[in-house]
A and B are shown apart, each in its own frame.
Chain A
Amino acid sequence: MKSRLYSWEGLLLVTFLIIFAFNTITQPQFLTVSNQINMFQLSIEKLIVVLVMAFIIINAEIDLSVGSMMGLSACAFGWSFQHGLDPALAIVLCLAIGAAGGALNGFFVAYMGLPSLVVTLATLIGFRGLARVMVEDRGITNFPDWFDAIGQQGFIGPVPFALVCFVIMFAVAWIVLEHSGFGRKTYVIGSNRHVADFAGIHVRRHKLIIFTLAGVVSAFAGLLYAARVGAVRGDVANGFELDIITIVLLGGASIFGGSGTLVGTGLAILIVLNLRNGMSLHNVTGHLQTGVIGILLIASVLGPRLQWPRRLGAARQR
């Protein structure tokens, strides 16, 4: 088990280094500070949600509603700002909406026993509907300068606030997942829920906590998005969930739960970002870019499977 993951991460590392080297050699602008920051900044909200999605998938669940929650949070901010609510209060309100929405997912999955695919597909539509009802396609802009500055200016030197948050959250997520009881429980529940039950783990409470966290983190990411682009519209973050799940799977997490690491997730983030940035700098955009990322995902699902027959016996014994 361990060696398989290590080899997958090794493969990711080699892939990343090849892309990185290719970009560095072919594009003089690639290694500039501003391009490196832009590369992260353009996807930073997704990357933040990737961290919590890793917990969900390792826990053998899925959350399709994260993109809609980002949109709902951003639109709720815009709507309350438009209706004269103090922006600081509006931020608190949005995070509360995130917690409530996440808890709703968690309640139906953990306590009503419904499949997370179904529950979060429903809330994907529901949250998006609410966002569109609030803001429609009109667009709300002219947020306070301090709010725009959070998303558009450097926080530490040229490094923006969202990127600093991401680095801190990555470290926290790594410690929690790989060096805490909470993280171990996440793996155990994901590998075999019944074993976890017998071992006395509060499986339901654990799932509720993880889904609630996913809601809060998505709402936070939605606010960061609103600050970065300085405007919101009903379609904010539409379809982001697919990119987010793609990165987690590429990182080596099994869609059936129980496996995956944050190191792998981090490498997957670097691969996707560098690949996209490199293609953009080479003026490859649109369907071609989407196609290349799609091939990458197929490879990431097939890659571990190709080794499967040899490992099957070992996995069975586990």
Chain B
Amino acid sequence: MRNIGKITALAALLLSTAAIAHADTLTLEPGKEVNMVLLPKFLGILVFDQANEGAQEAHKELSNPGKLEFLGPTPENSVAGQIEIMTTATTQKQGAVMLSNNAGDQIAPAAKAAQDGGTKVVTWDSPIPSGEGESIFVAQVDFASIGVVMADMAHSILGGAGEMAVLSATPDASNQNAWIEAMKKALAADAKYKDIKLVDVVYGDDQAEVSYSRALALVDKYPNLGLIMSPTTVGIQAAAKAMQDEGLCDKIKVSGLGLPSEMVSYTLNGCAPEFALWDFRDLGYLTYYTAYGLASGQMKGEVGETFKAGRMGEYTIEADPGRANAKRILMGPFTVYNKSNVEAAAK
């Protein structure tokens, strides 16, 4: 009986997916005039500049006669600055604000006011936790899949067996903790990982020097350590540099989430043979398409709506499994970088 129920549910799911797939895929009409603002957490960070490149690419491709502004606060003033830019965008009657949120729920009243004033709010990279005031979140990857990707990289680097330690950012960074948990789950879920032993989780506070010394401390503490896994771009670079400086790269490898431009030398010299990340140019590009579709009135922003995002193909709006009443578009998947592709990506 239970099986029949499952099969029926599965069939229904398949049918509905099929129905969605066959529903008209929206191709956005170019040339509509929409002014938009790309609002990162703060200025001066490489990945946000890359997102801007992607958005500018889409802006040209859709030959939008309006303006695309890349505006952000300074790191010290991030929260108040984001609220101010959101409010000013409302006053300016911008068509859409694309926000990588750093203000938590504090931005929600300003985002709601923007929506009331006719300015769409599309989040990317980091959503508004409550979902209030937000049209859609363009998610870079499914946060659960990050665990599997890290487990697989560990498996391939360690050759299936060995000791591994995690170098994270801060003990209370919610995304980091979620990713480490996901990796532990992935390691426990499949027998092929049974010889990989996670010996410790340490924190480098997302500061290069702290991460560097934590990585060296791990080496002293665990003589049989084979891999340091760091799911943060600061940690992975610091750990790779530490292993390189100490001449330990033959014995201890580094992996995790890193930026190709920062990791390219370590990948080529073998200190960090494999690491993963999503492409921020693609994220900016997809976010732009989404915001353009909404602000030009061509997309309604409802669950199940499918549209074509230029070179990246088709995407469908779905309910966000992590946040009640919120909608997302899942970009995915990860790009895993190694010797064969890191140089091209680092440019």
Contacts and interface: CB of A to CB of B under 8 A. Distances in A.
Interface string A275-292: 011001101011100100
A35 interface: yes
Given A137-B172, A141-B130, A230 B85 contact: no
B109 A229 contact: yes
A285 B85 contact: yes
A230 B106 contact: yes
Residue among B71, B74, B104 with most chain A CB within 10 A: B104
Contact of B85 (A139, A228, A236, A280): A280
B71 A231 contact: no
Contacts of A290: 74, 77
A287 B74 contact: yes
Nearest to B130: A141
Contacts of B72: 285-286
Contact of A286 (B73, B92, B103): B73
Interface residues of A, number: 34
Given A34-B91, A280-B85, A139 B104 contact: yes
Residue among B88, B92, B107, B130 with most chain A CB within 10 A: B88
Contact of A231 (B91, B93, B105): B105
Nearest to A38: B87
Nearest to B79: A235
Residue among A138, A141, A151, A286 with most chain B CB within 10 A: A286
Interface string B17-51: 00000000000000000000000001110000000
Given A283-B69, A285-B73, A286-B74, A231 B104 contact: yes
Interface in B83-123: 83-85, 87-88, 91-93, 103-110, 113
Given A29-B92, A231-B105, A139 B71 contact: no
Interface in B307-325: none
B59 to A, nearest CB: 15
B332 interface: no
A204 B103 CA distance: 41
A232 B88 CA distance: 22
Interface in A176-226: none
Contact of A32 (B71, B91, B129): B91
Contacts of B108: 141, 229-231
A285 B81 CA distance: 8
Contacts of A230: 105-106, 108-109
A113 interface: no
A151 B110 CA distance: 11
B76 interface: yes
A120 B109 CA distance: 32
Contacts of A15: none
A239 B129 CA distance: 24
Interface in A123-142: 136-139, 141-142
B106 A286 contact: no
A151 B109 contact: yes
Residue among B69, B84, B129 with most chain A CB within 10 A: B84
A60 B92 CA distance: 42
Given A141-B108, A151-B109, A287-B74, A229 B92 contact: no
Interface in B123-156: 129-130
Interface string B159-191: 000000000000010100000000000000000
Contacts of A29: 91-93
A117 B83 CA distance: 31
Contacts of B77: 239, 290
Contacts of B84: 42, 276, 280
Interface in B51-84: 69, 71-74, 76-77, 79-81, 83-84
Contacts of B44: 286-287
Given A42-B80, A137-B172, A231-B108, 7 more contacts: A42-B83, A139-B104, A139-B105, A139-B129, A232-B106, A286-B72, A287-B74
The 6 lowest CB-CB distance pairs between A and B, nearest first, are A231-B105, A229-B106, A139-B104, A141-B105, A280-B88, A286-B43
30 contacts: A32-B91, A38-B88, A42-B83, A42-B87, A136-B172, A137-B174, A141-B105, A142-B130, A148-B109, A151-B109, A229-B105, A229-B107, A230-B105, A230-B106, A231-B108, A232-B106, A233-B79, A235-B79, A236-B79, A239-B76, A239-B77, A280-B84, A280-B85, A280-B88, A283-B71, A285-B43, A285-B81, A286-B81, A290-B74, A290-B77
